Amino acid sequence: MSQAESIADRLPGASQNVTSLQAHILAEERRHPHASGTFSWILSALALSAKTIAALIRRARLEDVLGSMGSENVQGEEQQKLDVISNEVLLRCLGQRSGVAIVASEEDDEPTILRTETDGERRYCVLFDPLDGSSNLDVAGGVGTIFSILRHHPEAGSPETSILQAGTEQVAAGYILYGSSTVLVVTTGNGVQMFVLDPAIGSFLLVEEEVRIPARGETYSLNEGNRPGFPQGWQDYLAWAQANGYSGRYVGAMVADVHRTLLKGGVFMYPPTGKTPDGKLRLMYEANPMAMIVEQAGGKAFAGAAERILEVKPQTLHQRVPVLLGSVEEVDRVREFVA
Ligand code: AHG
Ligand code: MN
Ligand code: MN
């Protein structure tokens, strides 16, 4: 074997074709003969934002951008400096793409209207949670970015009406996990693909073309400290899971907890509590995109026992919803207890 060949053997994905996110997006575009490329540009802006945020997070302690801003977001939650910086990165990267009509962020009170022209060009609304699990930053824990893409309907009148679409209308959704590696998971309604950032070359490389969630998994993931406030059915499920040898796993960052559930199976929950009857997680920025990913991977996602998260009709941009998602068998079991 020549030296060149043995070096080539050590390249990422040496045993298969190396596919970058960019190449994947272009290949997807070719499958849709009428695609204008607009949508691809949006995904590439999200990838660019992800690389920027990943780099910022890695150096956060060194550059003294950890800790709180001393302000609260619209949800009344304390904002970390990096919440605000990540939000800015996404707004800038997406703002430059002509195909983005409106962006809405968990951190902002109101959506940002970028373009309202009705010139026939198809445009999109991009919703995001810029930095999910940001309270983990101080301890170098996993954090993430979650995004959801909807078609813009200029005829809807107000931007808010254009955005308030059920999760079933999402044209794409995904998340980036900034963990021990940076992972991008995305769906455009055609299965779920997973990419890992190769920091040496600055590209997201395809590592799994068709992610499937295991049908079962003996792990539950939730904030057990809230247990006394859960409605009885949820408490009964927990007692059942513990009596049956289930493990508990909880990072406290939805992206990290859902990612583990997606790959290893099990169930992730943020149930209602007496104090928060709709739980904590936000429908438009967290629950809908994660539900699309999980369903596209063959799992289930419910807002309690009866209603699919994706079918919840949003009333307001920042509304919350109880979340129950993961492996088919585990989600169904929780639903039996909760019903
Ligand atoms: P964010 O940092 O975007 O506000 O989201 C935090 C969310 C989510 O990531 C996680 O699943 C949940 O809050 C954890 O909440 P508890 O601390 O109440 O368990
Ligand atoms: Mn979040
Ligand atoms: Mn957040």
In order along its 339 residues, the chain shows pLDDT tens digits of 677 777 666 666 555 678 999 999 888 888 887 778 888 999 999 999 999 999 999 999 898 888 888 888 877 888 889 999 999 999 999 999 999 999 999 999 999 999 877 777 889 999 999 999 999 999 999 999 999 999 999 888 788 888 999 999 999 999 999 999 999 999 999 999 999 999 999 999 999 999 999 999 999 999 999 999 999 999 999 999 999 999 999 999 999 999 999 999 999 999 999 999 999 999 999 999 999 999 999 999 999 899 999 999 999 999 999 999 999 999 999 999 999
Query: Of the candidates 338, 317, 325, 332, which has an alpha carbon nearest to the alpha carbon of residue 128?
Result: 317
The answer to whether 92 touches 113, Cβ cutoff 8 Å, is no
pLDDT of residue 28: 85
Amino acid letter, residue 1: M
Ligand 1 pocket test target in 83, 90, 223 with most atoms within 8 Å of CB: 223
| d(CA 141, ligand 1 centre) in Å | 13
| d(CA 144, ligand 2 centre) in Å | 8
| d(CA 257, ligand 3 centre) in Å | 14
The hierarchical CATH code for the domain 7-208 is: 3.30.540.10
How does DSSP classify residue 320? B
| d(CA 145, ligand 2 centre) in Å | 8
**Structure pTM?**
0.94
The neighbourhood of ligand 2, an ion, using CB within 5 A, equals: 129, 132
CB-based pocket (< 6 A), ligand 1: 77, 106, 129, 132-134, 223, 252-254, 280
Q: Token match 């060149």: residue?
A: 4
Q: Which two tokens stand for residue 199?
A: 């920091």
Q: Whose Cα sits closest to atom 18 in ligand 1?
A: 223
pLDDT of residue 121: 82
Question: Boundaries of CATH 3.40.190.80 in the chain?
Answer: 219-338
**What element of type H or E holds 112?**
strand 112-113
Tell me, which fold does domain 219-338 have in CATH? Answer: D-Maltodextrin-Binding Protein; domain 2 (3.40.190)
pLDDT of residue 181: 97
The answer to whether 301 touches 295, Cβ cutoff 8 Å, is yes
pLDDT of residue 32: 80
The answer to whether 116 touches 123, Cβ cutoff 8 Å, is no
Question: Boundaries of CATH 3.30.540.10 in the chain?
Answer: 7-208
| d(CA 54, ligand 3 centre) in Å | 15
Report the Cα 106 to chain-centroid distance in Å. Answer: 12
Report the Cα 103 to chain-centroid distance in Å. Answer: 15
pLDDT of residue 1: 63
CA distances in angstroms from 71 to 67, 75, 76, 83, 246, listed in the order given: 11, 11, 9, 11, 39
Q: Whose Cα sits closest to atom 2 in ligand 1?
A: 133
